[in-house]
Chain A
Amino acid sequence: MSITVEQQQPTANPFQAPRTAHNARRRISNIAIVALSLLATAFAVAVLLFLLLYVLRAGLPYINLDLFTKIPTPNGEPGGGLANSIQGSLILVGLASLFGIPLGLFTGIYLSEFGGRGPIATGVRFLVDVLTGIPTIIFGLFAWIFIVVPQQSFSGLAGGVALGIIMIPIVARTSEVVLRLVPNELREASLALGATESRTILRVVIPSARNGIITGIVLAMARVAGETAPLLMTAFGNPFFNSDITQPMDALPLRIFNFAESPYQAQINQAYAGSLVLIVLILITSFAIRWATGGFKHGGR
């Protein structure tokens, strides 16, 4: 019995992709996608960098101590500062946070922990999403109708309320999303130990989602710190120091808005300096909040 041994043909390297049209298309589309996403990223970063550098270049030379201690000079005389605007912005954002954060957070807790997929929660979720998309000037209008008109005066309170309402949907949605990410096993662990639902949420679920919730809050604060439109018809602006929330109040974005269109070069320069201060202020606030709440300690969640 003879065994025929087949002559082995020298085969091509099996790991070498065959040169077919299909493979060429695959390679090209692969390269195209990578190139496209790199290009888009580069463009976005470039725009942001340009913006930052431009504000830095135009504003930095006019940053001085007076900016933080003095109020604006009348009608474009040189000197003076934006101390009243900085003070006003801090008060307004604080006021907004005072009720925007708890209302948003508890709405988020409701949506994530109690609402589930029920019709009420679905409705609330939809409304919250709609609120996020509404132009912020509408919230200013709301505060104008319900606070400014009855009070017969523009006020810091009205501004704070308008900004607070803007914060609610942002805080609510981010809180809901991060609370949902908390594994159900942790809730079960707590419930199985005989903890009530409220304790489970307060002591187990929220701490686990803490960093995400804080991020949402910081984002919302940063967002409203830069709002101008809703303040035009609520806080209105004030060229003097004012910490009385029933009176018109200044805010950095308002001051920047007014000064940027000013015919006086000194005020235009201060508008740039103010923009820089606003950006830095937001950065400092978010870092401070993260540091104070221990957000830097544990990575991850």
Chain B
Amino acid sequence: MAIEVRNLNVWYGRSQALHDITLTIESQGATAIIGPSGCGKSTFVRCLNRMHEEIAGGRVEGEVLVEGINIYERSIQPVYVRRHIGMVFQRPNPLPTRSIFENVAIGLRLNGLARGDALKEIVERSLTQAALWDEVKDRLNESAGQLSGGQQQRLCIARALAIEPKIILMDEPASALDPISTFQIEDLMRELRKTYPVVIVTHNMQQAARVAEKTVFFLQGRLIEQGETGKFFSRPQKKETEDYISGRFS
């Protein structure tokens, strides 16, 4: 499932957040989007599953082609786009009053995809995939609010995986976590990128270097540079990129 973004322009009310972004995301592997705060990197991933328009005043122009289909086509309903393109958010957002099991099952239930034994099976598989099963298998009925931040984030990843997405978007998934949890999440990213195209927004350049095959640099709503991660960090082509990765950027 390759993603092709063509001439994407995005607004919040009157202020333009992204200017004319054109970018191809390969059908496999991880792509990291880096850049300083406010550069539009979160806005960009939120456009890939049509979450941006949920914000009051959010407006998108241009094309995002997933497997050749423009998800901004008039005939396409955003609900089905999101059904197939999973998302993990910056702050872990499990449903705090529901059980661990229900948190993973909710996507399946909301979409009427599975019930009974099939549901249990998918929940177990998703939690295993998210490297959380062993920690929670004995307390699936406890409330998700009791888990630690890192566990909650892995629970959210399991929840996203449960509905078998074709692409996974991660919006700074480890920025609210401690180093050990971050390490676990990064491990998970490396595992997931074997199966899914994964797009990771991060403000942590080391993280981009550790988990992504490809890195894209955004600055003030514009795409400055993209490339294979190793080359991107060792031999940046643009002055702005070099300034940013060497920390000479305010």
Contact = CB atoms under 8 A, between A and B. Distances in A.
Interface of A: 116-117, 183, 185-196, 199-200, 203-204, 207-208, 298, 301
Interface in B68-126: 79-84, 86-87, 89, 91, 93-98, 106-107, 109-111
Interface of B: 49, 51, 54, 56, 79-84, 86-87, 89, 91, 93-98, 106-107, 109-111, 143, 156, 159-160, 163
A195 B110 contact: yes
Nearest to A211: B97
B91 A185 contact: yes
A194 B166 CA distance: 13
Contacts of A301: 96-97
B95 A192 contact: no
A116 B93 contact: no
B110 A193 contact: yes
Contacts of A191: 51, 54, 82
Contacts of A185: 89, 91, 93
Contacts of B56: 116-117
Please indicate which of the listed interface residues A117, A189, A191, A208 has the most CB atoms of chain B within 10 Å of its own CB: A189
Please indicate which of the listed interface residues A188, A192, A193, A203 has the most CB atoms of chain B within 10 Å of its own CB: A192
Contacts of A193: 82-83, 86, 106-107, 110-111, 159-160, 163
Contacts of A195: 79, 107, 110-111
A193 B82 CA distance: 6
A188 B93 contact: yes
A298 B99 CA distance: 12
A188 B82 contact: no
Contacts of B89: 185, 188-189, 192
Contacts of B95: 186, 189, 204, 208
13 contacts: A185-B91, A189-B89, A189-B95, A190-B106, A192-B82, A192-B87, A193-B160, A193-B163, A194-B79, A203-B110, A204-B95, A208-B96, A301-B97
A194 B97 contact: no
